[in-house]
Amino acid sequence: MNNPFSTEEEQQPRKGPSPLISLESDLKIYKEPIREVAEEILREQLSRYPIFVAHQHEVKLGELILDKDELKTSWSIQASTLEEFVEKGIIQRERQELFENNFKDPKQFICLFVIVPEGANFVFYPYK
């Protein structure tokens, strides 16, 4: 099976199952509400680059749209934008254009910023 979450870090030996397995399971439930929020961000011209923060602990980034405790899932999702990531220094201003050039179509892919204890990484997850 093709894993849409494959990253360089996954090539490293890991203890126990990857937390991305539970995230992929949650995304099966979450992808339509996420798509609706992404479309709203695009339609209202808040940003051309919606980013969704996936986390299991409290994060002060974006706006909470899917709460794991409320939904009895493993991951919470917050909606954000490239502009907020630049403003908060997560993406350096001089790297913004590179990020924009590598950003996949937000109508076809969810741009996830996945935060795990080992760190964080961007992942593009297809809606289909």
Tens-digit pLDDT profile for residues 28-71: 999 999 999 999 999 999 999 999 999 999 899 999 999 999 99
pLDDT score of 49: 98
Nearest Cα to Cα of residue 61 among 46, 76, 73: 76
Q: How many CB atoms lie under 10 A from the CB of residue 58?
A: 7
Backbone angles phi, psi at 55, to 5 degrees: -150, 165
- What 3-state class would DSSP assign to 81? strand
Please state whether 59 falls in left (phi above 0), alpha (psi between -120 and 50) or beta.
Answer: beta
Bridge partner list, 79: 52, 63
What is the reported pLDDT for 11? 42
Stretch 68-84: mean pLDDT = 96
Residue 25 has pLDDT above 50, yes or no: yes
pLDDT recorded at residue 8:
42
Which tops the pLDDT comparison, 42 or 15?
42
Q: What is the mean pLDDT of the chain?
A: 88
Share of the chain above pLDDT 70, in %: 87
**pTM listed for this prediction:** 0.85
Euclidean distance between CA atoms 121 and 128, whole angstroms = 21
Residue 40 tokens read as 């709203």
Mean pLDDT, residues 84-95 taken together: 96
Q: What is residue 18's predicted lDDT score, i.e. its pLDDT?
A: 73
pLDDT for the residue numbered 117: 86
CA 3 to chain centre: 16
Type of residue found at 29? I
- Do the Cβ atoms of 113 and 120 come closer than 8 Å? yes
